[in-house]
Homo-oligomer: A and B are copies of this chain.
């Protein structure tokens, strides 16, 4: 194989596929990026068996061929080379040289014979989102996923497509994120649970350009995302998802409108005396036009009052401060609405149109 690419193109490609390199594995070949040069195309591929990524990069092929290079060293070599055109060439013993101007790295490549190639999905059943919408959706929901494998379904995000609507749901048993998106076209009903890790890696690769599309293809156990020059294939999580409609209610006895940034700053401050894993709740006392936010630990106490607009009953409720902050971080609105039904019932943070619904369960607190 002999190819020439610009450093910029090569580095972009390596960065994209490296998202599918596992941090550890018992199969050394999975730590490699497969470089294929044939049919006039240079393709990079990585595959951690859950998630596979391939991308086509611009460049010139002098000699067709296939090699597999350790992803970490390959990336570091490309990053450290001077700007310019990079030549990658291997001899029959798989000794590979990577050259740019007066600089040359050499190392042994693998043949890639044992590399697990990606199988593309059938393209009959697809849906389309803009890169912007998908990137936003991911950042606005996946934080609520569980990172524990004890309940596999909670590590995945539920996509429910019905006609021209997509509902995305993430939950971990303590909180729920729901985003409702209007699609440009109508589709047959689809329900799928996409691993959170897949979505988070895709989000890093997506440009976020509202003018660019992502095409999503779905098969029974797999999903394929196609955008720009890149294809990402992931397993789906099997199983029946929770009944989301049952979790949502429009009943509330207290509604509080509050400046999002003020509330965020206040709750962030409140956590100062709380050690990680301390499970100390922040206690919020909603009265007329005022929220008093308190937290108390062995180290010290915090107290702050912020302005609110309240309708309905006064209420004191305890929260895990991180859960409230996570929600406030991903909402764009300047003012948010909290809908409450008492100190033991979930708190709903949502907009009028229900483009977003965040549900946070309360935490018991000792009133003091």
A120 to chain B, nearest CB (A): 33
- In the bound assembly, the distance between CA atoms of A265 and B76 in angstroms comes to 14
Q: Which of B77, B103, B272, B303 contacts A304 (CB 8 A)?
A: B103
A300 touches B103 (CB 8 A): no
Q: Are B80 and A300 in touch, CB under 8 angstroms?
A: no
Interface status of A23 (Cβ within 8 A of chain B): no
CA–CA, A103 and B102, complex, Å: 61
In the complex, 20 of the A-B residue pairs with CB atoms within 8 angstroms, ordered by the A residue number, are A73-B272, A73-B299, A76-B272, A77-B272, A80-B268, A81-B269, A102-B304, A102-B306, A103-B266, A104-B302, A104-B304, A105-B272, A105-B273, A105-B301, A105-B303, A106-B300, A106-B301, A106-B302, A107-B300, A108-B300
CB-CB < 8 A to A269: which residues of B? 80-81, 103
Within 8 A of B (CB), among A57-103: 73, 76-77, 80-82, 102-103
Contacts of A108 in B (CB 8 A): 300
User: Is the C-beta of A180 less than 8 angstroms from some C-beta in chain B?
Assistant: no
A104 / chain B contacts, CB cutoff of 8 Å: 302-304
The answer, among B103, B105, B266, B300, for a CB contact under 8 Å with A73, is B300
Contact across chains for A102 and B305 when beta carbons are under 8 A apart:
yes
Residues of B within 8 A of A300 (CB): 73, 105-108
Apart from A80-B268, A103-B304, A105-B300, what are 19 other A-B pairs with CB-CB below 8 Å?
A73-B272, A73-B273, A73-B299, A73-B300, A80-B269, A80-B272, A81-B269, A82-B265, A102-B305, A103-B269, A104-B303, A105-B272, A105-B273, A106-B302, A106-B303, A107-B273, A107-B299, A107-B301, A108-B300
User: Which residues in chain A, 219-274, are within 8 Å of chain B measured between CB atoms?
Assistant: 265-266, 268-269, 272-273
In the complex, the chain B residue whose C-beta lies closest to that of A99 is: B303
Q: Chain A contact residues (Cβ within 8 angstroms of B): what range?
A: 20 to 34
Q: List A residues 304-354 near B (Cβ within 8 Å).
A: 304-306
> A82's closest neighbor in chain B, by CB?
B265
Distance in Å: Cβ of A4 to nearest Cβ of chain B: 19
Question: Could you tell me the distance in whole angstroms from the C-beta of A210 to the nearest C-beta in chain B?
Answer: 35
Smallest distance from the beta carbon of A90 to chain B beta carbons, Å?
A: 13
Residues of B within 8 A of A81 (CB): 269
A308 shortest CB reach to chain B, Å? 12
Residues of B within 8 A of A303 (CB): 103-106
For the complex, give the distance between the alpha carbons of A81 and B302 in Å: 11
Measured in the bound complex, the distance between the Cα atoms of B301 and A268 in whole Å is 50
Give complex CA distance A269, B86 in Å: 15
> Which residues of chain B come closer than 8 Å to A103, judged between CB atoms?
266, 269, 302-304
Complex CA distance for A301 and B97, rounded to whole angstroms: 9
Chain B residue with Cβ nearest A272: B76
Residues of B within 8 A of A107 (CB): 273, 299-301
Q: Within 8 Å CB of A102, what residues of B?
A: 304-306
- Chain B positions within 8 Å of A266 at CB level: 103
- Which residues of B sit under 8 angstroms from A299, Cβ to Cβ? 73, 107
Report the bound CA distance from A269 to B83 in whole Å. Answer: 13
Separation of A103 and B103 alpha carbons in the complex (Å)? 59
Complex CA–CA separation, A273 to B289 (angstroms): 63
Query: 1/0 per residue A268-301: CB within 8 Å of B?
Result: 1100110000000000000000000000000111
